[in-house]
Copies of this chain bind each other. A is one copy, B any other.
Amino acid sequence: MKKAAITRLNILQKAFELIYSKGYLTTSIDEILATTHVTKGAFYYHFKNKDEMGIAIINELLKPTFEATFLKPLASGGDPVQIIYDMMQEILMDNEFLKVEYGCPAANFTQEMAPWNTDFTKALNDLSAAWKDAIIACIENGKKDKNIRPDVKADQVAIFIMSGYWGIRNIGKLSNSKTVYLVFLKQLKEYLQTLR
């Protein structure tokens, strides 16, 4: 890896940590420079402005890890009830990249940026749409295998499940405890069973 690429990745990673823990708007560039030990000249060599860095974080950091943890498990071809539950269990309880007190990085970005930056919204919408499509495909596949009732509306279920995830992340952030995750997972399991 080239030195310049290391600098860029260093900025993206440290900046993400700061933004994830305390918000995009409250994370100043000076603060990013202080934690990365990168100078302002170097920063603005790699990024035209702060927002371009934010978009880069979404596309170059969030997206890959998102694909690995949110999308990949759904495509394994097994029983949707089990697969979806396991995915949720992983991203809520096991994944150490995501912290309960900080919520969901994508949701945080959405909340903060949606009112005044369409680039962020577009990038986040892509992630959201990809997740939805993956859940739908998983459920449709489950119908073929007779694991899911044929009358189940896959798109409705997908939206419903995604809502649950985004929401419980909010509640977790508010209560600052994974306890609500466990409660949510129990009811999710019961809900998923009704799709058989």
Give the interface of A toward B (CB within 8 A). 21-23, 25-26, 101-103, 107-108, 110-112, 114-116, 121, 124-125, 128, 153, 155-157, 159-160, 162-171, 173-176, 180, 183-184, 186-188, 190-191, 194
Contact = CB atoms under 8 A, between A and B. Distances in A.
Given A23-B112, A26-B25, A112-B23, A184 B160 contact: yes
A190 B186 CA distance: 18
B107 A111 contact: yes
Among all A-B residue pairs, the 9 with the closest Cβ atoms: A167-B167, A163-B167, A166-B167, A111-B111, A160-B187, A156-B187, A163-B168, A166-B170, A22-B115
A180 B159 contact: yes
Contacts of A116: 22-23, 26
Given A107-B170, A163-B165, 11 more contacts: A101-B115, A111-B112, A128-B174, A157-B187, A159-B171, A163-B164, A164-B167, A166-B168, A167-B168, A191-B194, A194-B194
Nearest to A118: B176
Given A174-B128, A183-B159, A115 B21 contact: yes
Nearest to A188: B160
Contact of A170 (B21, B170, B180, B187): B170
A186 B159 CA distance: 10
17 contacts: A25-B26, A101-B114, A103-B114, A107-B111, A111-B170, A114-B174, A121-B174, A124-B174, A128-B171, A128-B175, A153-B186, A153-B187, A156-B184, A156-B186, A162-B167, A166-B171, A191-B191
